[in-house]
Structure 1
Amino acid sequence: MNDRIETLEGRWILQILLCLNAHAHRFSELRAAIPRISANILTDRLRALERTGLIERHPVPPPAPGQIYSLGTAAAELEPILDALARWQAGSTTRRPPRGAGNDHSPTEMEHSR
Protein backbone atom coordinates (compact mmCIF):
# COMPACT_ATOMS: atom_id res chain seq x y z
CA MET A 1 0.00 0.00 0.00
CA ASN A 2 1.07 3.56 -0.58
CA ASP A 3 3.03 5.03 2.35
CA ARG A 4 1.19 8.35 1.98
CA ILE A 5 -2.16 6.65 2.56
CA GLU A 6 -0.79 4.60 5.47
CA THR A 7 0.13 7.87 7.19
CA LEU A 8 -3.59 8.70 7.44
CA GLU A 9 -4.73 5.29 8.69
CA GLY A 10 -3.99 5.55 12.41
CA ARG A 11 -6.69 6.20 14.94
CA TRP A 12 -7.17 9.89 15.74
CA ILE A 13 -5.07 11.04 12.75
CA LEU A 14 -8.03 12.36 10.79
CA GLN A 15 -9.47 14.18 13.81
CA ILE A 16 -6.11 15.84 14.47
CA LEU A 17 -5.75 16.91 10.84
CA LEU A 18 -9.32 18.25 10.77
CA CYS A 19 -8.65 20.35 13.88
CA LEU A 20 -5.42 21.72 12.48
CA ASN A 21 -7.03 22.41 9.12
CA ALA A 22 -9.43 24.78 10.89
CA HIS A 23 -6.55 26.64 12.59
CA ALA A 24 -3.35 26.11 14.55
CA HIS A 25 -3.74 24.64 18.04
CA ARG A 26 -1.76 24.26 21.22
CA PHE A 27 -1.49 20.76 22.66
CA SER A 28 -4.09 21.55 25.32
CA GLU A 29 -6.49 22.89 22.69
CA LEU A 30 -6.17 19.66 20.70
CA ARG A 31 -6.89 17.66 23.86
CA ALA A 32 -10.00 19.72 24.46
CA ALA A 33 -11.12 19.40 20.82
CA ILE A 34 -10.64 15.61 20.87
CA PRO A 35 -11.64 14.77 24.44
CA ARG A 36 -11.42 10.97 24.21
CA ILE A 37 -7.75 10.92 23.18
CA SER A 38 -5.17 10.41 25.92
CA ALA A 39 -2.21 12.75 26.27
CA ASN A 40 0.24 9.93 25.46
CA ILE A 41 -1.58 8.92 22.29
CA LEU A 42 -1.94 12.54 21.17
CA THR A 43 1.79 13.08 21.69
CA ASP A 44 2.55 9.91 19.72
CA ARG A 45 0.27 10.90 16.82
CA LEU A 46 1.61 14.47 16.71
CA ARG A 47 5.20 13.21 16.56
CA ALA A 48 4.34 10.75 13.79
CA LEU A 49 2.56 13.44 11.77
CA GLU A 50 5.45 15.83 12.31
CA ARG A 51 7.93 13.23 11.01
CA THR A 52 5.92 12.95 7.80
CA GLY A 53 5.74 16.71 7.34
CA LEU A 54 1.95 16.75 7.52
CA ILE A 55 2.09 18.97 10.60
CA GLU A 56 4.61 21.45 11.95
CA ARG A 57 5.39 22.41 15.52
CA HIS A 58 6.36 25.98 16.33
CA PRO A 59 7.49 27.43 19.66
CA VAL A 60 5.27 30.07 21.25
CA PRO A 61 7.19 32.89 22.95
CA PRO A 62 6.55 34.03 26.53
CA PRO A 63 4.50 35.11 28.45
CA ALA A 64 2.72 31.80 27.72
CA PRO A 65 5.51 29.65 26.27
CA GLY A 66 4.70 26.35 24.64
CA GLN A 67 4.26 24.75 21.26
CA ILE A 68 1.67 25.36 18.60
CA TYR A 69 0.81 22.84 15.90
CA SER A 70 -0.34 23.62 12.37
CA LEU A 71 -0.66 21.83 9.07
CA GLY A 72 2.68 21.43 7.33
CA THR A 73 3.54 22.02 3.71
CA ALA A 74 3.15 18.30 2.97
CA ALA A 75 -0.54 18.63 3.91
CA ALA A 76 -1.28 21.37 1.37
CA GLU A 77 -2.76 18.86 -1.08
CA LEU A 78 -5.01 17.50 1.67
CA GLU A 79 -6.61 20.86 2.53
CA PRO A 80 -9.48 20.62 -0.01
CA ILE A 81 -10.18 17.06 1.17
CA LEU A 82 -10.08 18.12 4.82
CA ASP A 83 -12.39 21.06 4.02
CA ALA A 84 -14.88 18.68 2.39
CA LEU A 85 -14.67 16.27 5.33
CA ALA A 86 -15.24 19.13 7.78
CA ARG A 87 -18.36 20.20 5.85
CA TRP A 88 -19.58 16.60 5.79
CA GLN A 89 -18.88 16.22 9.52
CA ALA A 90 -20.84 19.41 10.20
CA GLY A 91 -23.80 17.94 8.32
CA SER A 92 -23.70 20.16 5.27
CA THR A 93 -26.02 18.90 2.57
CA THR A 94 -24.66 21.10 -0.21
CA ARG A 95 -23.45 18.82 -2.97
CA ARG A 96 -21.42 19.50 -6.05
CA PRO A 97 -22.29 17.69 -9.26
CA PRO A 98 -20.18 14.58 -9.90
CA ARG A 99 -16.98 15.14 -11.85
CA GLY A 100 -16.42 13.59 -15.22
CA ALA A 101 -16.18 14.37 -18.89
CA GLY A 102 -19.54 14.86 -20.51
CA ASN A 103 -21.41 14.48 -17.26
CA ASP A 104 -23.88 17.31 -17.75
CA HIS A 105 -26.83 15.44 -16.25
CA SER A 106 -28.07 15.58 -12.70
CA PRO A 107 -28.07 12.32 -10.71
CA THR A 108 -31.87 12.23 -11.04
CA GLU A 109 -31.72 12.54 -14.83
CA MET A 110 -29.10 9.79 -14.96
CA GLU A 111 -31.29 7.45 -12.90
CA HIS A 112 -34.27 8.01 -15.21
CA SER A 113 -32.17 7.36 -18.32
CA ARG A 114 -31.20 3.87 -17.16
Structure 2
Amino acid sequence: MAERKLNSTNYQNQVFLEEKCALNELIHLLSKRWLTEVMFSIEEGNVRFSNIKEDLKYISDNVLADRLKLLEKYKLIVRTEFAKESPTRVEYALTQTGETLSEWLGVLCNFAEKDMDFST
Protein backbone atom coordinates (compact mmCIF):
# COMPACT_ATOMS: atom_id res chain seq x y z
CA MET A 1 0.00 0.00 0.00
CA ALA A 2 1.19 3.50 -0.76
CA GLU A 3 2.09 5.71 2.16
CA ARG A 4 0.60 9.16 2.47
CA LYS A 5 2.69 12.12 1.47
CA LEU A 6 4.07 13.70 4.63
CA ASN A 7 3.25 17.21 3.41
CA SER A 8 -0.32 16.45 2.31
CA THR A 9 -3.23 18.18 4.00
CA ASN A 10 -4.83 14.83 4.87
CA TYR A 11 -1.64 13.68 6.60
CA GLN A 12 -1.25 16.97 8.49
CA ASN A 13 -4.90 16.82 9.61
CA GLN A 14 -4.49 13.24 10.81
CA VAL A 15 -1.34 14.08 12.79
CA PHE A 16 -3.09 17.07 14.38
CA LEU A 17 -6.07 14.95 15.43
CA GLU A 18 -3.90 12.15 16.76
CA GLU A 19 -1.86 14.62 18.83
CA LYS A 20 -5.08 16.20 20.11
CA CYS A 21 -6.40 12.90 21.54
CA ALA A 22 -5.00 9.36 21.48
CA LEU A 23 -8.53 8.11 20.71
CA ASN A 24 -8.14 9.52 17.19
CA GLU A 25 -5.03 7.40 16.71
CA LEU A 26 -6.85 4.31 18.00
CA ILE A 27 -9.81 4.97 15.69
CA HIS A 28 -7.42 5.35 12.76
CA LEU A 29 -5.80 1.99 13.63
CA LEU A 30 -9.15 0.25 14.08
CA SER A 31 -10.45 1.66 10.81
CA LYS A 32 -8.05 -0.54 8.85
CA ARG A 33 -10.14 -3.13 7.05
CA TRP A 34 -10.20 -6.55 8.73
CA LEU A 35 -8.22 -5.47 11.81
CA THR A 36 -11.02 -5.90 14.34
CA GLU A 37 -12.24 -9.08 12.67
CA VAL A 38 -8.76 -10.59 12.98
CA MET A 39 -8.76 -9.70 16.69
CA PHE A 40 -12.21 -11.23 17.17
CA SER A 41 -11.18 -14.38 15.28
CA ILE A 42 -8.17 -14.86 17.55
CA GLU A 43 -10.36 -14.25 20.59
CA GLU A 44 -12.74 -16.97 19.35
CA GLY A 45 -9.88 -19.47 19.36
CA ASN A 46 -8.51 -19.26 15.84
CA VAL A 47 -4.87 -19.03 16.87
CA ARG A 48 -3.07 -20.08 13.70
CA PHE A 49 -2.77 -18.20 10.42
CA SER A 50 -4.62 -20.91 8.51
CA ASN A 51 -7.47 -20.98 11.07
CA ILE A 52 -7.89 -17.21 10.92
CA LYS A 53 -7.78 -17.32 7.12
CA GLU A 54 -10.46 -20.01 7.09
CA ASP A 55 -12.63 -18.04 9.54
CA LEU A 56 -12.31 -14.84 7.50
CA LYS A 57 -12.65 -16.49 4.09
CA TYR A 58 -12.44 -13.28 2.01
CA ILE A 59 -9.27 -11.85 3.58
CA SER A 60 -6.13 -12.12 1.45
CA ASP A 61 -2.94 -13.65 2.79
CA ASN A 62 -1.12 -10.33 2.43
CA VAL A 63 -3.76 -8.35 4.32
CA LEU A 64 -3.97 -10.97 7.07
CA ALA A 65 -0.19 -10.96 7.49
CA ASP A 66 -0.19 -7.15 7.60
CA ARG A 67 -2.97 -7.00 10.19
CA LEU A 68 -1.25 -9.58 12.38
CA LYS A 69 1.95 -7.50 12.25
CA LEU A 70 0.02 -4.34 13.17
CA LEU A 71 -1.73 -6.04 16.07
CA GLU A 72 1.62 -7.34 17.29
CA LYS A 73 3.28 -3.94 16.85
CA TYR A 74 0.68 -2.30 19.08
CA LYS A 75 0.93 -5.16 21.59
CA LEU A 76 -2.67 -6.26 21.10
CA ILE A 77 -1.58 -9.80 20.24
CA VAL A 78 1.47 -11.91 20.97
CA ARG A 79 3.05 -14.22 18.40
CA THR A 80 4.51 -17.48 19.70
CA GLU A 81 6.83 -19.62 17.57
CA PHE A 82 7.27 -23.29 18.31
CA ALA A 83 10.66 -23.58 16.61
CA LYS A 84 11.39 -27.10 17.85
CA GLU A 85 8.57 -28.39 15.69
CA SER A 86 9.10 -29.06 12.01
CA PRO A 87 7.72 -27.12 10.29
CA THR A 88 7.76 -24.30 12.84
CA ARG A 89 4.29 -23.72 14.26
CA VAL A 90 3.15 -20.16 15.00
CA GLU A 91 0.21 -19.22 17.21
CA TYR A 92 -1.35 -15.89 18.10
CA ALA A 93 -3.09 -14.83 21.30
CA LEU A 94 -4.60 -11.61 22.58
CA THR A 95 -2.55 -9.78 25.19
CA GLN A 96 -4.26 -8.33 28.25
CA THR A 97 -4.46 -5.02 26.37
CA GLY A 98 -5.97 -6.82 23.38
CA GLU A 99 -8.54 -8.52 25.60
CA THR A 100 -9.50 -5.20 27.17
CA LEU A 101 -9.85 -3.54 23.75
CA SER A 102 -11.88 -6.49 22.48
CA GLU A 103 -14.29 -6.12 25.40
CA TRP A 104 -14.77 -2.43 24.59
CA LEU A 105 -15.23 -3.22 20.91
CA GLY A 106 -17.89 -5.76 21.85
CA VAL A 107 -19.75 -3.04 23.76
CA LEU A 108 -19.47 -0.75 20.74
CA CYS A 109 -20.73 -3.52 18.42
CA ASN A 110 -23.77 -4.04 20.64
CA PHE A 111 -24.37 -0.28 20.73
CA ALA A 112 -24.12 -0.05 16.94
CA GLU A 113 -26.52 -2.96 16.43
CA LYS A 114 -29.12 -1.87 19.00
CA ASP A 115 -28.96 1.91 19.17
CA MET A 116 -27.74 3.18 15.79
CA ASP A 117 -29.81 3.52 12.65
CA PHE A 118 -27.56 3.14 9.62
CA SER A 119 -30.42 2.82 7.16
CA THR A 120 -30.41 6.52 6.30
1:72 match = 95
Structure 1: give runs of 5+ residues left out of the alignment.
94-114
Q: Structure 1 vs Structure 2: percent identity of aligned residues? A: 28
Unmatched segments (≥5 aa) in structure 2:
1-16, 18-23, 115-120
How many aligned positions are there?
A: 89
Within 5 Å, give how 1:1-114 maps onto structure 2: 1=17, 2-60=24-82, 61-62=84-85, 65-84=88-107
Q: In 2, Cα distance between the equivalents of 1:57 and 1:65? A: 12
Q: Tell me how far 1:75 sits from its aligned partner.
A: 1.4
Tell me whether 42-51 or 61-70 shows the greater mean CA deviation.
61-70
Q: CA deviation at 1:80?
A: 2.0
Distance 1:24 1:58, change over 3 A: farther
Q: CA RMSD in A?
A: 2.5
Offset at residue 63 of structure 1 (A): 5.5
- Could you tell me how far apart the structure 2 residues matched to 1:53 and 1:4 are? 13
Moved over 3 A (4+): 82-86
Give the TM-score taking structure 1 as reference length: 0.64
Give the superposition deviation at 1:6. 1.6
1:18 is paired with a residue of what secondary structure?
A: helix
Structure whose CA Rg is larger: 1
Q: TM-score, normalised by structure 2?
A: 0.62
Which amino acid is the alignment partner of residue 7 of structure 1? L
Q: How far off is 1:62 after superposition?
A: 1.9
Deviation of residue 24 (structure 1)? 4.9
Taking a change above 3 Å as real, the CA distance of residues 84 and 20 of structure 1, as seen in their structure-2 partners, is: farther
